Amino acid sequence: MLAGLSVDYYARLERGNLTGASESVLEAVARALRLDDAERQHLFDLSRHSTAGGSRTPRRKEATAARPAVGAILAGMATIPAYVRTSRMEIVAANELCRALYGGGP
């Protein structure tokens, strides 16, 4: 609000998506956050880097199944329910006790 930006736009900037942010927007954010000279310069450097050609590294494809070695470790954990999940919270492997406790799964 202090910078005169919508919550959605500011949240996008906060997540690091500075692409297309004008100098006046960055100045308003720096002013609202009371950034010192070094912090302000860093904000502008981040903006320049994000618009310099989209140098983001491509995301690695997420596993859809656990490796056999991980499955063996899970099977060896017979006294506690255990599972393996992705960063999206998808369960890709579970030991027998976990499947019995939670009713199914991979």
Tens of pLDDT, residue by residue over 32-48, are: 889 999 998 988 888 88
Tens of pLDDT, residue by residue over 85-94, are: 988 888 899 9
Show Cβ contacts of residue 98 under 8 Å, excluding neighbours closer than 6 positions. 81, 82, 83, 105
Checking if the pLDDT of 52 tops 80, the result is no
**The whole model's pTM is what?**
0.46
Tens of pLDDT, residue by residue over 76-86, are: 998 999 999 98
Banded pLDDT at 13 (limits 50, 70, 90): confident
What type of residue sits at position 102?
Answer: Y
Angle of helix 7-14 relative to helix 23-32, nearest 10 degrees, comes to 90
**Pick from 35, 43, 41: which is nearest to 14 by CA?**
43
Query: Encoding tokens for residue 84?
Result: 């393996």
Share of the chain above pLDDT 70, in %: 85
